[in-house]
């Protein structure tokens, strides 16, 4: 490094949520920078509380060896034009020890500090500070050498503040550099893509003004998150629906923007609707043509299906080309003839993009027109093509069904079907309860023995059996409940088969009955279902006359119903997105509306290799309630922009929205049906953590646990808003049970719930997989957390530490009380004694004091309330320091696929962990059994002593006021250490000598 060329670069990005100082609710702010005797100033941003500068200054470093002793001071001022002065808005101070090279520098948003104790400040200032030694970079001109009129400053009236070295400053440290080149590019590149020079296809009078959005605002959170800042949530301030999000509100600046898409950035597309053609010239020897249309603009093209032997074909398809990625000004629509060797040219139509009109909903759709085809020289030929060409946004009605071209490759009809956005509705699920009561007059094959019978019930792939009954009669009794999951519309029948176990591994069918689920009675409560007798049929009927002769009249006694009073759990209970019962009659009106804007993703990790470089074809899936959404697949892009908005009705605030990012592996030339879509990351947002009416715009890190450890796969930018339609209903929900009534009246066992949830996920995956494009099984399982119940050493540790953190408050209170009893702080102990005696003297003040104390704590914590929804925490999940073998065990298949030696080692480890858990559980049980033995006379002497003590205590408390007894007990517990003994107390010794049931354990 050449020390003479060493400079300090400071990029002033922007400020956020500044304090208004002009008396009109705004401020005209600018920033002054001070470093090593040099001073620079930004331009003034008029009337803007969240200004954006994006200005870079370079300071000379006089003595690089003394850099760690220097500081960078940034002052934010409000310019007062009338009085030619300025007012203070805040400052920050950055120590030289936190300066990093340019490659490690990122934009940080620093909270503004007060200049004095009487200052009022708020907001944050975004800076990117780095040290650079590039000799081509010239230092900026100091403010003292620039004309005051050029910089709008009044430095003569307001001299530079002198900051003493002894002043206490907050030191901010930069984030570590991002390792991935895509992430570095995202941090260093401007937030708005620069339009290509050749993309001049909109007349100036038709252009909609679009303000440039500010760069990403990184909010520095407190250190209590206990995880790397790179894995933390970051707040952004994008332009949505023509306005910028400031303080959770969208400030609209575009009068033409509608309210339908106000949570996404407006994107412009060139739409081309290819309707049909007529009188096409014959190209084959047979006098016909196999036409298809190719829409081309630069390197982008879309192709329709070819229609065989038709001179008047009809397609009626729409193509959409992203405006920001086009590099040409001429659109070509070419008609070609499909051939085995080489497709023949039929004719084309050319359009100058400067003449293409813009359509803004709610305008009516643009009417298609007939255009004469021309040859390659531009001369008119036979044949016409009906087209409509216009420029619109994602609010256009044609957008959902359009075939998008998001990469420099051709998109045919098959591939376009796989990349289009879709909305899916999961089927309504029912629990099927089958109560097998008894059978009558069974006729086994071997009539010399009583049958050993059981009933096998089957719905689709679900098979359950009753317990075998070996009775001394031909009328066995079971009275067992079998539970299944079925989905509307009911396609599978309920098949019950009575079988006889004639030998080990050999069963014979006695009879069966088939019941269509559409004929089964539905119920929404716990009313009794009338039982019915069903005649059993022989599985194979050879001769009807023989059947009548034998008079086969075996019957099966059943109670069958569709239970609609339950909520069918098809996802993890911790992340449920819907808690309503199946029966719609039990549904209550919605309490609000949830809106989700899927903006974009940045810095994605390459999931595949194409043309020698890493790339990804990603799409997003969001799940809430019965509604699933899938955004379009953005092909060959590591920083895709989706900008799609969706809406759900909310029926319960204790529900979770899940958004996942996946890589599409089905876009190969022949498809990749055997390859699963790859997981990129997932985000969960609980509705109850959202404030009503506020727009949350955050960048969520996509964290995935791999066999090698936790890995950040990129960041997903979302905009979320929860709007309450009935505040009273929402508050009432907090008093209602979490699940429907039937879950408490007739609850299921844990084993039943796990089995039913597994079946429900399989049914939902099968139904959604039949849609077009299909939502694949691995996607449904990933979004539903189907493997959350499997064993994991990491999750066990995380749950243990979560449990310990719950009791930290009790431990802290116990330690504080121990310090009081040991008189470590005499003043505090005396005050506690006074408070204790006052509460004992006036016991009616105890409960009011407790509730008042909790009220004050709640009010005090209001200022520290979370401003953003919680996100996945790697520290809490024990994903940072997990052992590689524990990760390998977690990702192992079930049943295991590892070697016997490795499984033996893991089994021994599991035994040691389970042994410690067993010991802790046994100790807790021992204490409870000792409490029970106080009055059980298991130890007659101990019980006699305790009973005698109870009698004496009752008489003493009867004649002594309660206040005196409570005061004596409290003072005795808080007595001075001089009156204490190191040995355990008498009550503790008595309790530990009590017997437990451990001596009865084998």
Q: Using CB atoms within 10 A of its CB, is residue 346 exposed (0-12), middle (13-18) or buried (19+)?
A: buried
For 167, 168, 169, 211, the CA distances from 164, given in Å and listed in that order, are 6, 9, 10, 41
In the chain, what is the greatest distance between 2 CA atoms, to the nearest angstrom? 121
Give the pLDDT of residue 1001. 65
pTM: 0.68
Give the pLDDT of residue 447. 72
Cα separation of 300 and 326, whole Å? 8
Q: Per-residue pLDDT for 148 more than 80?
A: no
The more confident residue out of 222 and 682 is 682
Q: Per-residue pLDDT for 613 more than 70?
A: yes
Q: Which of 363, 204, 197 is nearest to 271 (CA)?
A: 363
Cα separation of 135 and 6, whole Å? 8
Q: To the nearest 10°, report the CA torsion of 108, 113, 115, 118.
A: 160
Lowest mean pLDDT among 99-103, 294-298, 389-393: 99-103
Give the pLDDT of residue 200. 38
Tokens of 942: 């101990």
Mean pLDDT (whole number) for 480-495: 92
Tens digit of each residue's pLDDT (9 = 90 or more) over 327-342? 788 999 999 988 888 8
Report whether 437 contacts 403 (CB < 8 A).
no
Q: Given pLDDT bands bounded at 50, 70 and 90, which one contains residue 665?
A: confident
Give the pLDDT of residue 760. 94
Give the pLDDT of residue 194. 36
In sequence order, which residues have a C-beta less than 8 Å from that of residue 315 and are 6 or more positions away? Answer: 274, 275, 276, 293, 304, 305, 307
Give the pLDDT of residue 76. 93
Cα separation of 394 and 406, whole Å? 14
Report whether 660 contacts 782 (CB < 8 A).
yes
- Tell me the sheet residues that pair with 321: 270, 405
**3-class secondary structure, 950:** helix
**3-class secondary structure, 328:** coil
Lowest mean pLDDT among 353-357, 617-621, 845-849: 845-849
Tens digit of each residue's pLDDT (9 = 90 or more) over 746-788? 999 988 998 999 999 999 999 999 888 889 999 999 998 887 7
Tokens of 943: 């019980």
Cβ-based neighbour number of residue 124 at 10 Å = 24
Cα separation of 638 and 617, whole Å? 8
Q: Which of 418, 429, 420, 400 is nearest to 767 (CA)?
A: 429
Tens digit of each residue's pLDDT (9 = 90 or more) over 104-138? 677 777 889 888 877 888 888 988 888 888 777 77
């Amino acid at each position: 490094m050449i020390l003479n060329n060493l400079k300090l670069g400071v990029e002033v990005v922007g400020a956020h949520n500044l304090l208004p100082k002009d008396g009109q609710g705004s401020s005209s702010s600018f920033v002054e920078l001070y470093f090593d005797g040099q001073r620079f100033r930004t331009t003034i941003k008029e009337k803007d509380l969240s200004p954006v500068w994006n200005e870079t200054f370079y300071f000379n470093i006089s003595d690089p060896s003394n850099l760690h002793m220097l500081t960078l001071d940034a002052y934010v001022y409000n310019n007062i034009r009338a009085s030619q002065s300025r007012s203070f808005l805040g400052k920050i101070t950055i120590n030289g020890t936190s300066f990093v090279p340019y490659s490690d520098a990122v934009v940080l948003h620093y909270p503004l500090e007060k200049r004095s104790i009487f200052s009022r400040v708020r907001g944050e200032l975004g800076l990117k500070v780095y040290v650079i030694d590039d000799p081509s970079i010239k230092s900026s001109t100091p403010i003292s050498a620039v004309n005051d009129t050029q910089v709008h400053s009044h430095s003569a009236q307001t001299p530079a503040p002198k900051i003493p070295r002894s002043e206490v400053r907050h030191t901010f440290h930069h984030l570590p550099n991002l390792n991935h080149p895509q992430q570095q590019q995202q941090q260093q590149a401007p937030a708005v893509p620069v339009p290509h020079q050749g993309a001049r296809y909109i007349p100036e009078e038709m252009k909609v003004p679009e303000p440039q959005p500010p760069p990403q605002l990184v909010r520095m959170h407190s250190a209590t998150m206990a995880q790397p800042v790179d894995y933390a949530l970051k707040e952004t301030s994008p332009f949505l629906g023509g306005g910028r999000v400031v303080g959770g509100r969208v400030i609209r600046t575009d009068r033409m923007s509608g309210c339908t898409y106000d949570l996404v950035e407006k994107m412009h597309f060139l739409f081309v609707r290819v309707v049909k053609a007529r009188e096409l010239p014959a190209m084959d020897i047979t006098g016909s043509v196999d036409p298809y249309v190719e829409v081309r603009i630069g390197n982008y093209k879309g192709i329709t299906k070819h229609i065989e032997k038709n001179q008047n074909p009809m397609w009626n398809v729409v193509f959409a080309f992203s405006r920001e990625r086009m590099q040409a000004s001429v659109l070509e629509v070419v008609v070609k003839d499909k051939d085995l060797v080489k497709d023949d040219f039929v004719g084309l139509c050319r359009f100058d993009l400067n003449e293409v009109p813009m359509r803004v909903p709610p305008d009516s759709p643009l009417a298609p027109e007939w255009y004469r085809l021309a040859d390659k020289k531009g001369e008119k030929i036979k044949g016409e093509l009906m087209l409509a060409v216009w420029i619109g946004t994602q609010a256009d009605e044609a957008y959902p069904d359009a075939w998008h071209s998001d990469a420099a490759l051709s998109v045919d009809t098959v591939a376009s079907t796989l990349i289009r956005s879709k909305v899916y509705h999961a089927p309504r699920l029912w629990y099927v309860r089958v109560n097998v009561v008894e059978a009558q007059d069974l006729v086994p094959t071997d009539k010399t023995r009583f049958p050993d019978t059981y009933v096998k019930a089957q719905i689709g792939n679900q098979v359950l059996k009753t317990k075998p009954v070996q009775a001394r009669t031909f009328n066995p009794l079971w009275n067992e409940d079998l539970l299944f999951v079925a989905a509307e519309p009911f396609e599978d029948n309920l098949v019950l088969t009575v079988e006889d176990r004639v030998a080990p591994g050999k069963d014979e069918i006695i009879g069966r009955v088939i019941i269509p689920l559409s004929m089964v009675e539905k119920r929404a409560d716990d009313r009794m279902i009338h039982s019915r007798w069903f005649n059993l049929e022989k599985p194979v009927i050879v001769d009807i006359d023989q059947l009548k002769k034998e008079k086969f009249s075996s019957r099966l006694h059943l109670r069958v119903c569709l239970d609609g009073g339950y909520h069918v759990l098809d996802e993890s209970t911790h992340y449920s997105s819907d808690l309503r019962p199946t029966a719609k009659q039990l549904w209550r009106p919605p309490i609000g509306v949830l809106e989700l804007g899927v903006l974009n993703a940045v810095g994605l990790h390459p999931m595949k290799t194409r043309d020698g470089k890493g790339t990804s074809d990603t799409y997003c899936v969001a799940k809430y309630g019965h509604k699933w959404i899938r955004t379009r697949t953005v092909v060959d892009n590591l920083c895709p922009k989706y900008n799609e908005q969706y809406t759900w009705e909310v029926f319960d605030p204790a529900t979770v929205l899940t958004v996942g990012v996946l890589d599409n592996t089905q876009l190969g030339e022949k498809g990749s049906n055997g390859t699963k879509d790859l997981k990129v990351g997932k985000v969960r947002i609980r509705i109850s953590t959202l404030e009503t009416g506020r727009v949350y715009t955050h960048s969520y890190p996509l964290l995935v646990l791999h066999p090698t450890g936790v890995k950040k796969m990129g960041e997903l930018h979302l905009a979320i808003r929860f709007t309450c339609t009935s505040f009273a209903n929402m508050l009432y929900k907090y008093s209602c049970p979490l699940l429907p009534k039937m879950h408490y009246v007739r609850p299921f066992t844990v084993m039943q719930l796990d089995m039913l949830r597994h079946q429900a996920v399989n049914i939902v995956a099968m139904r959604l997989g039949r849609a077009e494009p299909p939502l694949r099984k691995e996607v449904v399982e990933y979004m539903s957390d189907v493997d959350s119940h499997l064993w994991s050493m990491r999750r066990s540790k995380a749950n243990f530490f979560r449990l310990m953190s719950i009791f930290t408050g009790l431990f802290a209170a116990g330690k504080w009380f121990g310090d009081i009893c040991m008189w470590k702080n005499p003043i505090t102990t005396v005050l506690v004694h006074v408070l204790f005696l006052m509460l004992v003297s006036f016991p009616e003040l105890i409960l009011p004091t407790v509730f008042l104390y909790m009220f004050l704590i709640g009010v005090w914590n209001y200022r520290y309330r979370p401003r953003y929804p919680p996100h996945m925490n790697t520290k809490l999940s024990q994903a940072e320091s997990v052992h590689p073998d524990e990760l390998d065990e977690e990702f192992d298949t079930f049943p295991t696929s590892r070697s016997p030696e490795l499984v033996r080692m893991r089994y021994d480890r599991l035994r040691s962990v389970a042994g410690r858990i067993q010991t802790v559980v046994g100790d807790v049980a021992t204490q409870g059994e000792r409490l029970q033995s106080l009055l059980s006379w298991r130890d007659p002497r101990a019980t006699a002593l305790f009973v005698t003590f109870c009698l004496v205590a009752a008489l003493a408390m009867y004649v002594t006021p309660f206040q005196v007894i409570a005061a004596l007990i409290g003072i005795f517990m808080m007595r001075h250490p001089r009156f204490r003994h190191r040995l355990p107390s008498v009550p503790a010794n008595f309790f530990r000598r009590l017997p437990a049931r451990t001596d009865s354990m084998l």
